[in-house]
Structure 1
Amino acid sequence: MSEKKSFFNFTFFITCIVCILPVVFGFFLWDKLPEHIPQQYGFNDEPTWTLAKPWGFILCPLILLILNIIINVIAYKNPEQNKKVFATMIWVIPVLSLIINSFMILKPAGLNLTPTQFLLPVISVMFIIIGNYLPKTQANSVVGIRAPWINSNPDVWQKANRLGGILFVTGGLISLITSFTPVGKYVFASVILCICVILFVYSIVLARKKENK
């Protein structure tokens, strides 16, 4: 019998370090940052709420660090899950933390890009990557298209996540192509809404059919 892989492995430590790298950038750019750092931008690319530094560049990376640890724990406790799926999903949070939180620091420090111009292409690419792996997931507590009526039936789970993969890839491509246009943010919002509605209706109908049988 092979020895069980340790939880505190190289990947775990590297992903944790990547999650909190933006904090280092924040201290490095301390003198260029305003006293209050935007934490969220509205549809008009204007800040909707802020936090005083240094909490303005510490809080979000810290939250994503905790989420990264939780996902690593789940991957460790589910060795039967597709290893390639979790190997990819484990890096989603650290990469998003590095890119998005770095932007949240660089923008108030003087970066001449709007949130829409920067974030839409990044999120669109993440949609495409996640969509490629959704059909390969098995039922679990974090990764995949999840709901009580989906989790309770393996066949519903498989079909819902297969459709979810198609929708995520298609929606990601559409959003990526239009992200550099004036209507990019409206297209992205429409894509999110369509994906949610289609998956909700499809999974509910599918689950009820299974119950009736």
Structure 2
Amino acid sequence: MKNSLNYLMLAAIAAPLIYLAFVWNQLPDIVPTHFGPSGKPDAFGPKWTLGILTVVSIGLYFLMRNVPHLDPRLNQANVSEHYPKLILLVLTFLGAIHILIIRSALEQMAGEVFINLVFIGVFLLLAGIGNYLNTIKSNYFVGIRTPWTLESETVWRKTHQMGAKLFFAMGIVGALVVVWLPEMWKIVWTLSLIFATVIWVFVYSYRAHKQEQANR
């Protein structure tokens, strides 16, 4: 993994913690710890709990960096040349959400603006994942792993090429539409898009497998 990307990953993890330390004395003793579908807080706790997401980011960092080493066929060097960028994307998303939560506790920012930013972030994350999805080589841990993609390199490649387009399109369309929807419909819209995309990719993977069998 290139050192420059690794430093950016560590910066994405550290940035929310640095921001939290900077505004610590300005935060109330009790802060929101959970938000409902409307974006309004529905659970509260001591302000030190705002640092918990950093622990999650650190755990995810080590998990994603080392998971390829568990695959008997691959290592982190050849699972994908873009795999470190994918890790950075996920860590940046978590860092942005972490800063948003701290900001909401600091300025009492909640409601529609907060929840819209969260949903936009989720969809942009999915679009970003789609951007790198077709670069992932066949492995047991990362990517679209169905019985048919794991069995055939050809099915893996075709499924990930299709999946990359679908995830990118879903992310862009989802982000553009979700801000205009009422509270509960934001969740319905998001879950429906994700579910439909996953089912489409799964079915496509099976059809690619059957086509490969027919060609043989």
Is the 1:117–1:180 Cα contact (8 Å) retained in structure 2? yes
Q: Which residue is 2:66 aligned to? A: 73
Q: Which residue is 1:97 aligned to? A: 94
Q: CA deviation at 1:111?
A: 5.4
- For 1:10-25, list aligned pairs within 5 A: 10-25=4-19
Confirm whether residue 59 of structure 1 aligns to residue 52 of structure 2. Answer: yes
Match of 1:187, SS state, is helix
Give the unaligned 5+ runs of structure 2: 70-74
Q: Which residue is 1:170 aligned to? A: 169
| Deviates further, 73-82 or 161-170 | 73-82
Is the 1:35–1:53 Cα contact (8 Å) retained in structure 2? yes
Looking at structure 2, the residues matched to 178 and 172 of structure 1 have their Cα atoms a distance apart, in angstroms, of 10
Q: Which residue is 2:72 aligned to? A: none
- For 1:60-139, list aligned pairs within 5 A: 60-74=53-67, 77-83=75-81, 85-110=82-107, 112=109, 114-139=113-138
Residue type matched to 2:106 in 1?
A
Q: CA deviation at 1:168?
A: 0.7
| Deviates further, 191-200 or 9-18 | 9-18
User: Could you state the TM-score of these two structures normalised by the residue count of structure 2?
Assistant: 0.78
Q: Which residue is 2:150 aligned to? A: 151
Looking at structure 2, the residues matched to 204 and 198 of structure 1 have their Cα atoms a distance apart, in angstroms, of 10
Residue type matched to 2:124 in 1?
V
User: Could you state the TM-score of these two structures normalised by the residue count of structure 1?
Assistant: 0.79
Is the 1:71–1:142 Cα contact (8 Å) retained in structure 2? no
Looking at structure 2, the residues matched to 143 and 36 of structure 1 have their Cα atoms a distance apart, in angstroms, of 39
Q: CA deviation at 1:119?
A: 1.6
Match of 1:78, SS state, is coil
| Deviates further, 155-164 or 101-110 | 155-164
Q: Which residue is 1:196 aligned to? A: 198
Is the 1:127–1:169 Cα contact (8 Å) retained in structure 2? yes
Residue type matched to 1:69 in 2?
F
Change (3 A) 1:92 1:8: closer
Change (3 A) 1:124 1:211: same
Confirm whether residue 33 of structure 1 aligns to residue 27 of structure 2. Answer: yes
Calculate percent identity across the aligned residue pairs.
Answer: 20
Q: CA deviation at 1:131?
A: 1.2
Change (3 A) 1:181 1:142: same
Residue type matched to 1:188 in 2?
T
Q: How many residues align?
A: 205
Give the unaligned 5+ runs of structure 1: 1-6
Is the 2:159–2:201 Cα contact (8 Å) retained in structure 1? yes
Residue type matched to 1:198 in 2?
W
Change (3 A) 1:210 1:14: same
Change (3 A) 1:205 1:71: same
Match of 1:107, SS state, is helix
Looking at structure 2, the residues matched to 95 and 10 of structure 1 have their Cα atoms a distance apart, in angstroms, of 15
Is the 1:150–1:160 Cα contact (8 Å) retained in structure 2? yes
Looking at structure 2, the residues matched to 40 and 207 of structure 1 have their Cα atoms a distance apart, in angstroms, of 43
Q: CA deviation at 1:89?
A: 0.7
Looking at structure 1, the residues matched to 203 and 189 of structure 2 have their Cα atoms a distance apart, in angstroms, of 21
